[in-house]
Amino acid sequence: MEIITSSRSMTEWANSRLYSRETICLVPTMGYFHEGHLALMREGGGLADYLVVSLFVNPRQFGPTEDFEKYPRDLERDMRLARENGVDVMFIPEMVDLYPPDFQTEVRVMELSRPLCGASRPGHFDGVTTVVAKLFNLVKPHVAVFGEKDFQQLAVIRRMVADLNWDIEIAGHPVVRESSGLAMSSRNSYLDEEGHRKALSLYRALEFAAEQASGGATDPTLLEKQIKEKLAGLSGAEVDYVEIVQADTLEKSKMINHNSLLVLAVRIDGIRLIDNRMLLR
């Protein structure tokens, strides 16, 4: 596995692959790999001739009071896991390389970035789209893989790619869960044992909602209310949002149907976790 740490070398590497008519898959990450990341890498490995994984903890997608400084990092372990999972190149750029002091451009997807996580984390998606746009320009992938746990992020990136006419296929990978049902996330590492137990309430809420929907529930507002009540009864849990939206537009569902997606964000002992699932499969 090759390690590339400068944007110039990344571009040179990508250009020589393109010159040889070879294809590139990119899996963008912020590191601290878990099984969810590894699943993206394994999928990505089968989608192109070369698999590039970028590792960059992007300050622009963290709010001023968020966990940028303490975001978990373990570079040695990440490099070993990447090597073991078929990664050809790890791109680990320096902060000053991606954001030199005179940097002043932002990429924003106006509508899709606004609701849900965009409402509770102002500017978050502008940071994501700006860095992903830069990564796309440097790595020049034919295909890029993102996890469906960050469903809104995936929708925002698909919109950006379509709006900016990039010829890049965006592949979504289903949520990877622990055997308990908890969606894998680097932020799970902040939870103690009790926090882990409480965090299962997110998964239970999704399961409950899916049961209600397949049992004939059609009113999204009523179902959202029931879920919020269940979560409110749990000590240490603070609901950020619980919404049933149309999976393609992220607009509120008027009625539960086969395009209805339940998305939720809940703070467990102060740790913000997100999850989602289609209500009818």
For the chain, the residue count is: 281
Judged by CB under 6 A, the chain residues 167 through 206 that form the site for ligand PAF are: none
Residue 38, interface with ligand PAF (CB under 6 A)? no
Give the nearer residue to ligand PAF in terms of CB position, either 58 or 253: 58
How, if at all, do strands 24-29 and 237-246 pair?
unpaired
- Closest to ligand PAF by CB, 13 vs 146, is 146
- x/- site string to ligand PAF, residues 120 to 149, per CB under 6 A? --------x--xx-----------------
Stretch that binds ligand PAF, among 22-30, 85-93, 238-246, 255-263 (CB under 6 A): 22-30
Cα separations (Å) of 101 from 96, 104, 133? 7, 9, 18
Q: Which candidate, 20, 46, 28, places its Cα nearest to that of 154? A: 28
* Minimum CB distance to ligand PAF smaller for 98 or for 231: 98
Which one of 37, 124, 142, 173 is the catalytic residue? Answer: 37
DSSP secondary structure letters along 93-154: --HHHHS-TT-------TTTTSSTHHHHSTTHHHHHHHHHHHHHHHH--SEEEEETTSHHHH
The stretch near ligand PAF (CB under 6 A) out of 24-32, 42-50, 83-91, 236-244 is 24-32
How many residues lie near ligand PAF (CB under 6 A)? 10
- CA 98 – CA 74 distance, rounded (Å): 20
* Sign of the alpha-carbon torsion through 152, 155, 158, 160: negative
Of the residues 28, 36, 118, 220, which one makes contact with ligand PAF according to CB under 6 A: 28
Q: Is 37 a catalytic residue?
A: yes
Contacts of 75 (CB under 8 A, 6+ apart): 31, 55, 92
- The catalytic residue positions are 37
Residues at the interface with ligand PAF (CB under 6 A): 28-30, 58, 61, 128, 131-132, 150, 153
